[in-house]
Chains A and B, each alone.
Chain A
Amino acid sequence: MWRHRAFMVGTGLSGLMAGAALLSLFWTPHSPTQIVVRARFKPPSWEHWLGTDQFGRDILSMLMAGAQTSILVGLIAVSLGLGLGVALGLLAAARRGWIEEAVMRLNDLTFAFPVVLLAILITAGWGPGISNAILALAIINVPIFARLSRGAALTIWAREFVLAARAAGKGPVRITAEHVLPNIANVIVVQATISFAIAILAEAALSYLGVGSQPPDPSWGRMLAESQNHLFRSPVLALWPGMAIVLSVLGLNLMGDGLRDLLDPRLGRRGRA
């Protein structure tokens, strides 16, 4: 499994991000929120590895703490969207007819909302904040997973081993659990990593617009937004959070790609189920 180079690189980058987030729970080089007026716009040094921002905050510490926010948002939003979406998709595939119609039309309705618009709508109702950003992202993820899992499940339902399972007296619930879900798990896992990456991007975008995480909670998107005002004085301020976003999204996408290959029993080595 370590022979798969894309998976290695992807897991490395994602691991770096997760590690930084975990470490920041206990320790960061400096406080990510403390303002030090004398230390504004410091270039990288031994004291501040990546320099300081317009308030004299340590950028590396902010990036580490910001990874927490990104992971938290991605994890919760994707889990909620995946859980509900896959359940709806499997239901639609197992029970054709009006249930399927209802689920899919509801999907179309949700698809029609861009995530940013939905987030702004929710913010208008309940005020800005990280939990409302998570809610918006979760809602957007539901139809993505529902459509994906319904389509994949339908191809499994059309296979003859499902007919054999029915001839063996199994009902739709058991067939879904024993045959359909294991056979579509790989596409769902791959989509989950991609959705995770998109969620990080979207959280950054929402924070940039000011409807995501609120100060003083560190966030990559807001770091990017604030750096915009000082772009001529210190362009690297935009570089660091931008790099953090690009690398973690790239890492998650590469990991998803690798997982897709590794989860196929026909490609994997024997004995690994």
Chain B
Amino acid sequence: MSAEALVVAEGLSRHYPLPRTSLFTRAERVRAVDGVDFTLARGHSLGIVGESGSGKSTLARLVLALEPPSGGRLTLFGEDPATLSAEAMRRLRRHMQIVFQDPFGALDPRHRVARIVAEPLQALRPDLARAERRAQALEVMEQVGLRASDGDKFPHEFSGGQRQRIAIARALITKPDLIVADEPVSALDVSVQAQVLNLMRDLETSHGLTYLLISHDLVVVEYLCAEIMVMYRGRIVERAETERLFAAPAHPYTRLLLASVPRMEAGRARRDGVAPPPAEAETGDAIGDGCPFAPRCPLAEHRCRAEAPRAREIAAGHRVACHLA
């Protein structure tokens, strides 16, 4: 079964209430994630791209069941996390781990590295003895390019890239199938980014990992993922195989993102003559029923402001939510 579905999201939503502005009005809600459907198959790493505020990180927390969805259904490894007991949930958590963006904030400054790396084993594999947990931590540290002698140091003694390696080691220690990486390299220097991305790619093959990679950077996603989803304001606007998305982007927002990717080759810097994004002021909240991207879209028509587009398949495996695609 090569295409076993690790994650299935159907109409997944997460809304946050805003503080009430008046006693007599209903509290407004932010739709951080708004009706997202996707399937993540084993061995088929998926990238999620979008600007800040598009709901990427909320989606990451939803997929890891760190937050309950406000609507829709989530299936993880064939099970619904909402119905699982705490014990079954812990068993499930062995199969999925997370790597965060900020290598400073993701490691407890008061714990030594070996303890940080071994932390998932503490709760998820209580059957292991302390010495065995430590041995496994040191082993996985060597797999990510750290020295076993680093185990007794504190996180502040490491550089940003090394800290991200520590975070990756912690995610690997339960031998998970799925790693959700939320902007894993965006806090790092460019030269270090490449090292960490190479490490992640090596681990993908050596450990049989599947990534759900979240980034605002298309280049990072292109490097690791077979397929890309583009998110805008909590919705998925386009989904396609990586090559196809780069070759034939159908949604105007995807084109905008691609146009803003800096490229070494001359002539690829601007695609299709899409205008640069207008000022933030024009992207106000009053989108009503229309397409969420309409206020910023250079191609928007009357219909775009009146009616939200539904996702449709324009080619095999290529889905777009745009009236004009």
Contacts and interface: CB of A to CB of B under 8 A. Distances in A.
B93 interface: yes
Contact of B100 (A163, A182, A183, A270): A163
Contact of B90 (A159, A169, A265): A169
A168 interface: yes
B66 A167 contact: yes
A266 B119 contact: no
B313 to A, nearest CB: 34
Contact of B105 (A161, A169, A270, A273): A161
Nearest to B156: A266
A264 to B, nearest CB: 9
A183 B107 CA distance: 12
A169 B119 CA distance: 9
B61 A168 contact: no
B208 interface: no
B124 interface: yes
Contact of B89 (A161, A169, A174, A182): A169
Nearest to B167: A164
Interface residues of A, number: 20
B180 to A, nearest CB: 8
Interface string A142-164: 00000000000000000111011
Contacts of B123: 168-170, 174
A174 B119 CA distance: 11
Nearest to B90: A169
Contact of B120 (A163, A168, A183): A168
A273 B109 CA distance: 11
B79 to A, nearest CB: 15
A270 B112 CA distance: 11
B110 A182 contact: yes
A159 B170 CA distance: 16
A183 B109 contact: yes
B124 A164 contact: no
B171 to A, nearest CB: 8
Nearest to A182: B110
A94 B277 CA distance: 41
A230 interface: no
B243 interface: no
B106 interface: yes
B156 A163 contact: no
B105 A160 contact: yes
Given A160-B106, A169-B120, A169-B124, A265 B66 contact: no
Contacts of B98: 163-164, 167
Contacts of A266: 109, 156
B102 interface: yes
Contacts of A166: 66
Interface string A211-253: 0000000000000000000000000000000000000000000
A76 B96 CA distance: 48
A172 B304 CA distance: 46
A164 B100 contact: yes
Interface in A81-114: none
A161 B90 contact: no
Contacts of B102: 160
A164 B64 CA distance: 10
A165 interface: yes
A168 B122 contact: yes
Interface string A175-200: 00001001100000000000000000
Given A160-B101, A168-B97, A170-B119, 19 more contacts: A161-B105, A161-B107, A161-B116, A164-B98, A164-B106, A164-B167, A166-B66, A168-B93, A168-B119, A168-B120, A169-B123, A179-B108, A182-B108, A183-B108, A183-B109, A265-B110, A265-B154, A266-B156, A270-B154
Interface of A: 159-161, 163-171, 174, 179, 182-183, 265-266, 270, 273
8 contacts: A159-B105, A164-B106, A167-B98, A168-B93, A169-B123, A171-B86, A265-B156, A270-B154
What 7 pairs between A and B have smallest CB-CB spacing? A168-B120, A169-B123, A160-B106, A160-B105, A169-B90, A160-B100, A161-B108
